């Protein structure tokens, strides 16, 4: 760097940049795309935001399966709006990831090549229309617990994307709960469908918060960087405490014999999910992993002509603007 007098001053060294970065983090100031950041911070964010974006996009599939079979026009319209919202969430998040210097096309490639992950929950099948309600209630409910603290994440573009997303997730949860309320007022067969769906989705929903804290090596660093604000176990506890009274109001039983109020702790005690199953599903061996990725790959291939047309159109526009600018 040269000063006005022509004398060179040393650029800020790595330690100085690091100290400035840490001061901003501890002062609750946001980090923005052009700010200096440690490589580890950038990489952690790319991994987390990409995984989140992939989950939104893959998450369209289990519910999307019921779009053509929704029991009424009203339910179809609601479900269609919800599934479209998830596509929008994916787009906000890919855009946030791009501010860190990666390309959306690469991220998609990494997803369909199995090099990047998405939430394990979307590898379970939707067997009845009650699953649509239970996904809204439990899966979007767990997503809200996870995501509300991310609105205060230290990385600006991620935090701002989360603010928009959380507003829609709240609608998703309510539509699911409302659907289940209606079904619970229906026939015994409908009530049974709801209970069966709750039995199948409860444990996978608890797994959405990730492994227990003792086995989550990245949590401590992510919290020091204020990317994450709470540990996996804290969020899981918050979700259980929030959900138990909702289940009671609905009239369903949560399938956990260890679930009970602990007055001393002021929280519910609950059992542990089958973490071996979680590892298997994450590793690719869940009920629907292969199907989800095959469909995503096919959709990507089918969309090639749209991407090519968009690039050609952009090039044409660029050429026209250049011609119009006087030399
Ligand atoms: Fe979403
Ligand atoms: Fe959602």
Indicate the domain borders of the chain. 21-274
CB under 8 Å, gap of 24 or more: what pairs does 95-101 form?
A: 95/157, 95/161, 96/49, 96/155, 96/157, 96/158, 96/160, 96/161, 97/45, 97/46, 97/49, 97/50, 97/53, 99/33, 99/157, 100/33, 100/42, 100/45, 100/46, 100/49, 101/42
Of 50-54, 74-78, 125-129, 216-220, least confident by mean pLDDT is: 216-220
Ligand 2 centroid – CA 20 distance (Å): 37
pLDDT of the residue at 9: 62
> Ligand 1 center to residue 257 CA distance, Å?
31
Cα 174 to ligand 1 centre (Å): 13
Tokens of 37: 């950041």
Res 325 pLDDT > 70: no
Range 109-126 average pLDDT: 95
**CA–CA–CA angle 239, 241, 246 (5° rounding):** 90
User: What band does 13 get if pLDDT is binned at 50, 70 and 90?
Assistant: confident
Ligand 1 centroid–CA 306 distance in Å is 24
Cα(195) to ligand 1 centroid in Å equals 24
Ligand 1 mean position, distance from CA 161 (Å): 11
Query: In this model, does residue 59 exceed pLDDT 90?
Result: yes
Q: Residue 236 has what pLDDT?
A: 98
pLDDT band at 11; cut points 50, 70, 90: low
**What pLDDT band is residue 14 in, cutting at 50, 70 and 90?**
confident
CATH classification of 21-274, choosing from 3.30.420.10, 3.90.850.10, 3.40.350.10, 1.20.1260.10? 1.20.1260.10
- To the nearest 10°, report the CA torsion of 54, 247, 243, 120: -30
Q: How far is the CA of 270 from the centre of ligand 1 (A)?
A: 27
Average pLDDT over the chain, rounded to an integer: 93
Provide mean pLDDT across the span 100-118. Answer: 95
Judge whether residue 84 has pLDDT over 90.
yes
């Amino acid at each position: 760097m040269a000063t006005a007098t022509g004398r060179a001053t040393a650029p800020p060294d790595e330690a100085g940049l690091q100290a400035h970065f840490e001061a901003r983090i501890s002062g609750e100031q946001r980090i923005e795309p052009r700010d200096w950041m440690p490589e580890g911070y950038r990489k952690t964010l790319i991994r987390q935001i990409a995984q989140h974006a992939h989950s939104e996009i893959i998450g369209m599939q289990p519910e999307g399966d019921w779009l053509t079979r929704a029991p009424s026009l009203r339910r179809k319209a609601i479900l269609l709006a919800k599934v479209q919202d998830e596509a929008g969430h994916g787009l906000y998040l890919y855009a946030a990831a791009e501010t860190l210097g990666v390309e959306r096309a690469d991220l998609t490639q990494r997803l369909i090549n199995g090099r990047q992950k998405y939430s394990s929950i979307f590898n379970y099948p939707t067997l009845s229309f009650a699953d649509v309600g239970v996904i809204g209630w439990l899966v979007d409910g767990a997503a809200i617990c996870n995501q509300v603290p991310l609105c205060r994440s230290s990385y600006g573009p991620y935090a701002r994307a989360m603010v928009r997303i959380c507003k829609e997730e709240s609608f998703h949860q309510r539509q699911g709960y409302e659907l289940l309320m209606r079904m619970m007022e229906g026939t015994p067969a409908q009530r049974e469908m709801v209970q069966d769906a709750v039995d199948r989705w409860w444990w996978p929903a608890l797994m959405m918060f990730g492994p227990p804290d003792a086995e989550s090596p990245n949590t401590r660093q992510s919290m020091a960087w204020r990317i994450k604000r709470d540990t996996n176990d804290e969020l899981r506890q918050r979700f259980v405490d929030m959900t138990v009274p909702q289940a009671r109001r609905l009239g369903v039983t949560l399938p956990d014999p260890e679930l009970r109020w602990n007055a001393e702790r002021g929280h519910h005690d609950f059992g542990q999910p089958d973490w071996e199953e979680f590892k298997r599903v994450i590793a690719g061996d869940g009920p629907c992993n292969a199907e989800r990725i095959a469909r995503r790959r096919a959709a990507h291939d089918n969309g090639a002509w749209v991407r090519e047309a968009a690039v050609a159109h952009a090039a044409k526009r660029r050429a026209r603007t250049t011609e119009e600018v006087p030399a």
